[in-house]
Amino acid sequence: MEYRTLGASGLKVPALSFGAGTFGGSGPLFSHWGTSDDAEARRLVDICLEAGVTLFDTADVYSDGASERVLGAALKGRRHEALISTKTGLPMGDGPAEAGTSRARLIQSVDAALSRLGTDYIDLLQLHAFDATTPVAETLGTLDDLVRAGKLRYVGVSNFAGWQLMKSLDLSQRHGWSRYVAHQVYYSLVGRDYEWELMPLGLDQGVGALVWSPLGWGRLTGKLRRGQPLPAGSRLHNTAEFGPPVDDERLYAIVDVLDEIAAETGKTIAQIALNWLLQRPTVSSVIIGARNEEQLRQNLGAIGWSLDAGQIARLDTASAVTPSYPRFPYYRQAGFARLDPPAV
């Protein structure tokens, strides 16, 4: 396993990490992700640790805390071998105090997560969304207190806009508070919006990307084909409405190139899509999920080799889209490469 530094921190994380959203799955979304019980989860964790996948990502909102509880049970007796990343901030109920990142909510949420995980510290806590109703200084000051109390090691965010992340980084620097070192983002061959603003920000400010849904919400597995119906067993039948939208013709054009490269390399479409991400700037770790041992072992095959420059260029071209304003006026001009970091 390759290990990378998480942003501008001293934390070393594996290039592939494991998303535990499949653990204890329940409800209209998470039950279709996976329903691993304690025994199956422990087996998947066994395989991960044997392969050097030491970072496990979850969230309090995943199946109403069940994912954290199952992950904690799977790591019992070997907590020291693993890094735990969890998230908070999304609603856990209908009450006014059950959502957001106020001081009261953060303290309560962290204590509850620690209890469910069966640990006394969290390696990386990420805010699951920006809370516009709470002053940024209140959130950051509370996170810093929790770090100083030893309950958190590092802090990060997920799904923030550029201005939200930059404002937070500036306030942290001015007050000497713990700084965000990670941004958990949606990024894939069919979803490259991360590159336009957030990737250059991450390069400039030392914020590492943890990539969620690297296979485009399950679309880059090789099972979706032009002119063929959605496979009967696809979870997209039940989860497509929750995920990022994807233009079908663009997807098929990307899959055509993935097919060509699969024939050249002997790798699967999913492995190639994951390996492409591992070559991108700012990417510290790509979060892989698996409903069973076979899926996990296949995804682990994305590491230990690299696409060549020509193959990467073909995938870049097939997946390219014109960026949104204010970038598109200059995107095709000759000077673009001199003005931007190597994000596209």
Residues taking part in catalysis: 62
Q: Which are the contacts of 224, defined by CB distance < 8 A and separation ≥ 6?
A: 230, 231, 234, 236, 251, 252, 255
Q: Distance between CA 299 and CA 308 in Å, rounded?
A: 19
What is the CB neighbour count within 10 angstroms for residue 311? Answer: 20
What the block records as the tokens of 228 is 């063929």
Q: Distance between CA 55 and CA 220 in Å, rounded?
A: 23
3-state DSSP assignment of residue 181: strand
Strands 16-19 vs 55-57: parallel, antiparallel or unpaired: parallel
Q: Distance between CA 305 and CA 332 in Å, rounded?
A: 32
Greatest alpha-carbon pair distance for the chain in Å reads: 57
Q: Kindly list the distances between the CA atom of residue 335 and the CA atoms of 154, 224, 330, 332, in Å, as whole numbers in the listed order.
A: 38, 38, 8, 8
Does the bond joining 326 to the residue before it have cis omega, within 30 degrees of 0?
A: yes
Q: Which are the contacts of 35, defined by CB distance < 8 A and separation ≥ 6?
A: 22, 24, 25, 26, 291
Q: Distance between CA 152 and CA 154 in Å, rounded?
A: 6
DSSP string, 55-88: EEE--TTGGGGHHHHHHHHHTTT-GGG-EEEEEE
Return the DSSP state at 321: -
Q: Kindly list the distances between the CA atom of residue 284 and the CA atoms of 174, 208, 240, 291, 306, in Å, as whole numbers in the listed order.
A: 26, 5, 27, 23, 16
What is the CB neighbour count within 10 angstroms for residue 214? Answer: 27
